[in-house]
Chains A and B, each alone.
Chain A
């Protein structure tokens, strides 16, 4: 089983690496991190905080864009191009195919994130602004990319790339605004209203779990428990999403 998932993952990685959009995004990210230096000179505020904030935000945005734009096509493109027929005519379980595609993009994101992070850390090191907690921030950002990839894979099984990208990006935005549901629950008086908000809060992806940019930039110490909780949330929520994707793909008619 692992050998087959591995084969699919490596093939997915190979396709992503040979995809031009990946290089475009990387070039932009590297450029933006470099731009942070210029920005810090023209804006009011601590140069160090601006560069760190901007750098982390760049890694965040470009990682999310990579996860979404490659993720949404992972399954749908194989179906559209009919390459999925030769694959699934092999002794390959459908869930192995889904997990392999996910693993391939996860590997691509490791490379992607590492390149952006290496450049970012180099810039900081040269300016003597490096802080080890930044590594924790990047790690949690990577967890976020994995969760978004899982969501993109789910939508890729369900619909066309365009719809899938809209829905995944929408969930990304919602995922960062879940604190507002909490506030709404407090303000509502009806019990069913409060209950509904609670349910939504649990069901929707809470991407704030992976966001420690603010704390790191302002030098607030990061608790190991916080990182452990983020990892646990990724595993639980991610498994639920991927499990749903596998279940849906199991009986999908490949016309």
Chain B
């Protein structure tokens, strides 16, 4: 059973001065399976944060359903097994790190000795072991992000939802967050996070969902989404005396080393045929791989070319 399921969800906003609806999500259907790391990527304003808020019951869909741990409509009890870190969290700046975590732990009904132990453990885990007694108003942005992450893990949740968890962190911090996410997965937890940083997604996600203007354009394993075909090969040659090649595009040239890009296997064979008798040697042949970024940009551009439709025709 999926831990989180959105079925044909539509969500609109209406600005104060206008009666026109602005559709943020149009028929979004998504399901997150237990134990996976799911990366939610998308253009700015695509609706990623809106999706996360719907998943947590902070806002309500115009149409469609949201089911969390099998409970539709996200009642309070369904959130017992969830941890959440919002984007750019503002925290209670008059509280110390320890007081802040203790407060959130109380909301789960955790008893005092367990709370103390868990607060200590989590502060250590996010690298704030010696900063727990300082007020949050004295924390740097990176420290605030870490304490926010600690708060999201205070109840040892089965599902961790993170909205831009790497935001504001230096490379060391990002590596630490990635390690925490992988460690959570190794303990059977499910992680659902939204991000702009595609390299992080490629590194750790099992599945990815690409949201563009409120619609899910692609969802699945990264190797399924981006390796459908090999668009080009890169052939590295050495000892090429003159630069005349029958086909292909020279990507780089240094001394007598040449890197050539060819679009088809036939072109590749033509180049290899010219090597014989020319004194040149083949160094390597590497298939070009489409990256997640290529997919992202392609889908975003395709969507920008199509005018926005009202989803009412598709709803119900």
Residues of the A chain whose Cβ atoms lie less than 8 Å from the Cβ of B88: 82
From A123-131, A186-194, A209-217, A247-255, give the one contacting chain B: A247-255
* A255-B56 contact, Cβ under 8 Å, with A7-B103, A81-B90, A85-B86: no
How far is it, in angstroms, between the C-alpha of A15 and the C-alpha of B13 when the chains are bound? Answer: 33
User: How many B residues touch A, CB cutoff 8 Å?
Assistant: 34
B60 in contact (CB, < 8 A): yes
B13 touches A90 (CB 8 A): no
Contact of B53 among A18, A93, A251, A254 (CB under 8 A): A254
Bound Cα distance from A18 to B108, whole angstroms: 25
B86 touches A87 (CB 8 A): no
Q: How far is the CB of B75 from chain A (nearest CB, A)?
A: 9
- Near B by CB (< 8 A), chain A positions 3-44 give 3-4, 6-8, 10-11, 14-15, 18
Give the segment of B91-99, B197-205, B275-283, B303-311 that binds chain A.
B91-99
Do the beta carbons of B106 and A4 come within 8 Å of each other?
A: yes
Q: How far is the CA of A15 from the CA of B137 in the complex (A)?
A: 13
Contact, CB under 8 Å: A91 / B86: no
- In this complex, the member of B76, B86, B103, B104 whose beta carbon has the largest number of chain A beta carbons within 10 angstroms is B76
In the assembled complex, B77 has its CB within 8 A of some CB on chain A: yes
Q: Which residue of A lies closest to B92 (CB)?
A: A83
A3-B94 contact given A86-B104, A253-B59, CB 8 Å threshold = no
Residues of B within 8 A of A11 (CB): 92, 95, 103
Residue B107 at the A interface, CB < 8 A?
yes
- Known contacts A89-B58, A91-B107; A15 and B94 CB within 8 A of each other: yes
Which A residues touch B106, using CB under 8 A?
3-4, 6-7
B127 within 8 A of A: no
Chain B, 121-159, CB within 8 A of any chain A CB? 148, 151, 155
Is A90 in contact with B89, judged by CB distance below 8 angstroms?
no
Rounded to whole Å, the gap between the CB of B76 and the closest CB of chain A is: 5
Q: Mark A92-104, 1 if CB is under 8 A from B, else 0.
A: 1100000000000
* Contact of A135 with B by CB under 8 A: no
The distance from the CB of A129 to the nearest CB of chain B, in whole angstroms, is 40
**New contact pairs (7) apart from A4-B109, A82-B89, A90-B155, CB-CB < 8 Å:** A7-B106, A14-B95, A82-B90, A83-B89, A85-B86, A86-B104, A89-B56
| B-binding residues in A (CB < 8 A) | 3-4, 6-8, 10-11, 14-15, 18, 81-83, 85-93, 251, 253-255
The 6 closest A-B pairs by CB, nearest first: A7-B106, A89-B84, A91-B80, A81-B90, A90-B107, A254-B58
| 9 contacts across the A-B interface (CB closer than 8 A) | A3-B106, A11-B92, A14-B94, A82-B88, A83-B89, A85-B84, A89-B58, A89-B82, A91-B80
